Amino acid sequence: MGYVRKRSANLVIVDMGCGDARLARTLKSTHPNIHSFDLVALNDHVQVCDIAHTPLNNDSVDIVIFCLSLMGTNLTDFIHEAHRILRLRGTMKIIEIASRFENQPQKFIRKIESMGFQCSKTNSLEEKSKSSPSQYFYAFDFAKTSAQIKSKSILTLAPCLHKKR
C-alpha cells in the first residue's frame, strides 16, 4: 500500500482479484478512484466480475494491481485485460509467491515483456510474522510500453507451494 499512498490521489487504480478490497477500504479517503474486482463480493467495496473482462474502458487506468490473484488457468487473459485498460506508460504491479516462478522469475519477466510491457522493478520480499516465520514473494512493476499486445504467448505459473505446519 505504501507505493499507492505515495502517488497522486487523482490516479485511477484497479485491484484485480481484490478479496475483501483492503486497498480500497484503507485508502478510500485519499484515493477515491480505486476499483476493486473479484468473483465474489465480500463487502460493498467489491465489484463482482471476471478479471479477464472488466467493465472499464480501454486506456483508462493508471495502475493495475495483481496481489496473489493470478490463480486462474486463464492468467494470460488477466494480463491481456490489464494491457487493454492501462494507459500507455501505466503501471502493472504483480505480487506473487516465489515458488510459483520455479526459481525462474526472469522467464516470467520475458513473457510479460513480450506482451508489450517493460519491467521497471523486481523485488524479492520476505515477510516475517509469529504465525508464519518465513514466506517469500516476488514483486514486479511493469510499465505498458505498447498500444497493442505484441505477443500472444501463453503465460503459466506453478501451483503455490505451502509448508506443512
Q: How many residues does the chain have?
A: 165
Share of the chain above pLDDT 70, in %: 86
Span 23-47, pLDDT tens digits: 999 998 898 999 999 999 999 999 9
pLDDT at residue 88, as a whole number: 97
Residue type, 48: V
Q: Taking the chain, what is the end-to-end CA distance rounded to the nearest angstrom?
A: 29
* Cell numbers that stand for 141 in this block: 512493476
3-state SS class at 106? helix
Give the residue extent of every domain in the chain.
2-144
Residue that is written with C-alpha cell 511493469 in the block: 142
Span 65-97, pLDDT tens digits: 999 999 988 999 999 999 999 999 999 999 999
Write out the H or E segment, with its range, that includes residue 108: helix 105-114
Residue 37: CA count within 13 A, CB half-sphere: 22
Per-residue CA distances from 100 to 13, 91, 106, 162 (Å): 25, 22, 12, 11
Picking from 59-73, 90-104, 118-132, which range would have the lowest pLDDT averaged per residue?
118-132
More confident residue, 6 or 31: 31
Average pLDDT of the residues in 96-115? 93
CATH topology (fold) of 2-144: Rossmann fold (3.40.50)
